Every structure is written in structure tokens, then in C-alpha cells.
Chains A and B, each alone.
Chain A
């Protein structure tokens, strides 16, 4: 079973700060997802990565397959970025193609 660890568990930032959230996993994967969950519960997919880097607006996600590590960066953070950010990984082959293993999430609070 893949162990997915996120750090930090909680993060408080001032508006405008650069944010980094980390995700490490124990077993090789075929893909990694970053998700966002706002208070009230709705979960939204941000990125899916299998290599390299992706950017969407102020969000940047990177993955290092050799080091089994991914980071989610938020530039020029804003109070509306306050949410729980969740990392999830997918394995190789058979049923693992369809199963996601999730980290516990990072609670981000951005103060004005």
C-alpha cells in the first residue's frame, strides 16, 4: 500500500505570500493528483501530473518521480485560496489503474 504524506499539516500565510505544500509517497506511481477542498466540503481537481511541471493561473505543481515527491506552489496567495489541499496517487496496472490513495490534506489559511 502506498503511504502518502503531506507537509505541513497546517499552514497560515499572509496575503501575497508564496506558498509551498509538499507530498511524498512510498511506492512508484503512474500519476499524482492535487485536489482542493473548500470549507463546506466540495472537492475540486486542480492538477494531474505524471512528470515535470504544470501551471494554471497562480498555481504550479511539480513532481520528481525519482525522489517520489511533488510540490504545489501558490504565488501571490489570496484569502480565497484558503482551503484544504489534498494529494492523491495512482499506482500501476490492474485495479491500481483506478484506485487513488490520498494524503490527509494540508489546511491553508491566508489572512488579509
Chain B
């Protein structure tokens, strides 16, 4: 299994440009999420999905859109990039085991710089 993959690894955007950060997992996990990580702050949840066709907002959703048309893919769209969206973005997936146990699997991250 490749696990959770993210592309691109690094991206530079100009203010106002749009782009899509790709995330895919091959573990048939129901739950996927997007986080951003900024210096001095903990990871913050942007959007999450509990299955194909179901998405919801997290803590910091403004400026981002998501969709989940398949179990495998969960792309994050920046509609009009702003310097405040400069960050490292992580995608994660998980599923619930019997007894409530679960393991979070993280992608390698995408570093985004908005000029």
C-alpha cells in the first residue's frame, strides 16, 4: 500500500490564484481530513469527510473547498489564494477498528507559499 499520498510537495502561488491540493489513500478508509500547520500553532482542521459524498467544515474552513466523489480521493481547493494561506498542509485518513481503536495515517504534506 502507498498509504496517504499528497501532491504537489511544494507550490508557490501568487495572490488570487487558485489551485487544488491532491490527496489520495489506498487503504479504503472512510474518514479523511485536511489540516494546516503553522509555526507556533497546533495542527488545525480545515475540512473533513466521513465517506464518499459527505463532507463538513472544520475549525478553519474559510477560503477552502473540498469534495469527496470517491473513497480514495479528497482534494482541497484554494479558491483565491491569500498570503494568510501560506502553510504546510497535511491530509490524513483513518478508520475505526473494533473496540473504538483507530490509527491516523498522515500524508507527507504540501508546503504552500502565497506571494
Contact B104 A35 (CB under 8 A): yes
Given contacts A43-B106, A45-B104, contact A98 B42 (CB under 8 A): no
Interface window among B14-22, B43-51, B78-86: B43-51
B100 touches A41 (CB 8 A): no
- A30 and B102 CA atoms in complex are apart in Å by 12
Do A31 and B106 touch (CB < 8 A)? no
Bound Cα distance A84, B13 (Å): 28
Query: Would you call B75 an interface residue if the criterion is a C-beta within 8 Å of the partner chain's C-beta atoms?
Result: no
A44 to chain B, nearest CB (A): 7
Q: How far is the CB of B6 from chain A (nearest CB, A)?
A: 11
Interface size class of A (residues with CB under 8 A): 20 to 34
Report whether B104 and A33 are in contact in the complex, using a CB–CB cutoff of 8 Å. Answer: yes
Answer yes or no: A99 CB below 8 A from chain B CBs: yes
* Interchain CB contact under 8 A, B42 and A42: no
Q: In the complex, which residues of chain B have a beta carbon less than 8 angstroms from the beta carbon of A83?
A: none
B74 within 8 Å of A by Cβ? no
Q: For residue B48, which residues in chain A have a CB less than 8 angstroms away from its CB?
A: 98-99
From known contacts A48-B102, A50-B100, A95-B56, infer whether A102 and B108 are also in contact, taking CB-CB under 8 Å. no
Give B contacts to A, CB under 8 Å: 31, 33, 35, 40-45, 48, 50, 56, 58-59, 88, 90, 92, 100-106, 108-109
